[in-house]
Amino acid sequence: MAQKLRGYWNYYGVIGNLKSLSVVNEAYTKVLFKWLNRRFQKRSYTWAGFNEMCKHFGKPAPRIVEIITRQQEFRWDVSAR
């Protein structure tokens, strides 16, 4: 689980895309909660228990991994004029 999410955040973690990453993270969390609760006839997790489980197993949060280089900063300054 964590490895796939880390790869997703690394690939799509560009500047200006954090809002979209947060939407994907929220949808992923809801689907994971739903499927973990389908394992038995009664609910396996409450939201509090689910959040503790995610914290224990280290579910990665969405993040921006792109670094602004000086060349990109220069291009933005020139285009602003």
How many domains, in total, are found in the chain? Answer: 1
Kindly give the confidence (pLDDT) of every residue in the chain, 81 residues in length, as a single tens digit, with 9 standing for 90 and above: 788 888 888 888 888 888 999 999 999 999 999 998 887 778 888 999 999 999 999 999 888 887 766 656 666 655 555
- Alpha carbon 62 to its chain centroid, in Å, reads 3
Tell me which amino acid residue 31 is: V
Domain region containing 16: 2-80
Q: Tell me: the pLDDT tens digits for 31-52? A: 999 998 887 778 888 999 999 9
pLDDT the model gives residue 78? 57
Distances (CA, A) of 45 to 10, 34, 60, 74: 29, 9, 20, 51
Distance CA 68, CA 81 (A): 19
